[in-house]
Amino acid sequence: MVHDMKYLTLSGGEAVPALGQGTWYMGDDPAARDAEIEALLTGIDHGLALIDTAEMYGQGRSERLVGEAIAGRREDVFLVSKVLPSNARFEATIAACEASLKRLGTDRLDLYLLHWQGSVPYEDTIRAFERLKADGKIRHYGVSNLDLVETQAFARAGGRGMQVNQLLYNLNQRGIEWDLLPWLQQAGIVTMAYSPFDGGALTANGALRRFAEARGMTSGQVALAWLLHRSLVLPIPKAAHAARVKENAAAMDIEFGPDDLAELDALFQPPSGPEPLAIY
């Protein structure tokens, strides 16, 4: 079954797929390469047409895998990669982007993110992002793993074109709901939710499994559907097998009522105060 494409809108006005694919640790095992490529292509065909990678993942191996997978399908994909903080100075960011483009076999990224906060002033990185945009090498930029204070600092430094903050967010990890998520939503900035299954902890959770089975779902589908119900939240689950990708895609068809959401809040309580930003 091919699912209807679902979208959410970036602050700049562009519609992007509402459910994506992560690739952390993909490309590391040559024996898994064919299955991983099949999984990525299956995701594209089932509406998970946003693919997220990074120069850090496998020291470029993930980008090479993604590049192989999307060869001939580039126009079907919203492609995301990230620059390491150690490469975040002006000239180094441009060089890092060009190296990512070469590994990915493409002439542009749809979205380029600062992977996490480092010692380089945000102004330097933003200047590089704006140059890369002007040169057509990236279309949008954003950040990853920045808390509220740092996200606001990035915006004040000139990063008003920020489209995304990629964050650890799932039923188990809800700390951003206290202050960061509301600020991002009000600003129209998308929260790209990585590790939506909390490293497998959610799919192994007995209470979540019972909740899911009572509704004819899997635990993973519930975890994704819950995120898809949040405003301007875009989950990027990683799946290395086509069957799991199809299971993930089915989460786009799930509708929760108020009672369902209240039960999930009782099982996985929202924060009662500010919490340090959780990062994997």
Residue 3 pLDDT:
55
Tens of each residue's pLDDT in the chain, 280 residues? 555 678 999 999 999 999 999 999 999 999 999 999 999 999 999 999 999 999 999 999 999 999 999 999 999 999 999 999 999 999 999 999 999 999 999 999 999 999 999 999 999 999 999 999 999 999 999 999 999 999 999 999 999 999 999 999 999 999 999 999 999 999 999 999 999 999 999 999 999 999 999 999 999 999 999 999 999 999 999 999 999 999 999 999 999 999 999 999 999 999 999 999 999 9
Q: Which two tokens stand for residue 29?
A: 């095992």
Residue 6 pLDDT:
86
Residue 243 lies in a domain: yes
Question: Looking at 7, 57, 112, 141, which residue is catalytic?
Answer: 57
Please state, in angstroms and rounded to a whole number, the distance separating the CA atoms of residues 268 and 262.
10
Burial class of 241 by CB neighbour count within 10 A (0 to 12, 13 to 18, 19+): middle
DSSP secondary structure of 128-195: HHHHHHHTTSBS-EEEES--HHHHHHHHHTT-TTEEEEEEE-SSS--GGGTTHHHHHHHHT-EEEEE-
Residue 52 lies in a domain: yes
Residue 98 pLDDT:
98
**Hey, which bits of the chain come out as E strands?**
7-9, 15-17, 20-21, 50-52, 78-83, 111-114, 141-144, 162-168, 190-194, 233-235
Residue 275 lies in a domain: no
**What domain count does the chain have?**
1
- For residue 162, the domain's CATH number is 3.20.20.100
SS3 8: strand
Residue 184 lies in a domain: yes
Residue 112 pLDDT:
98
Whole-angstrom CA distances from 94 to 78, 155, 175 are 20, 20, 33
Pairing of strands 162-168, 141-144: parallel
Residue 152 lies in a domain: yes
Residue 2 lies in a domain: no
The verdict on whether 57 is a catalytic residue reads yes
Residue 3 lies in a domain: no
Domain of residue 18: give its range. Answer: 14-267
Residue 5 pLDDT:
72
Residue 171 lies in a domain: yes
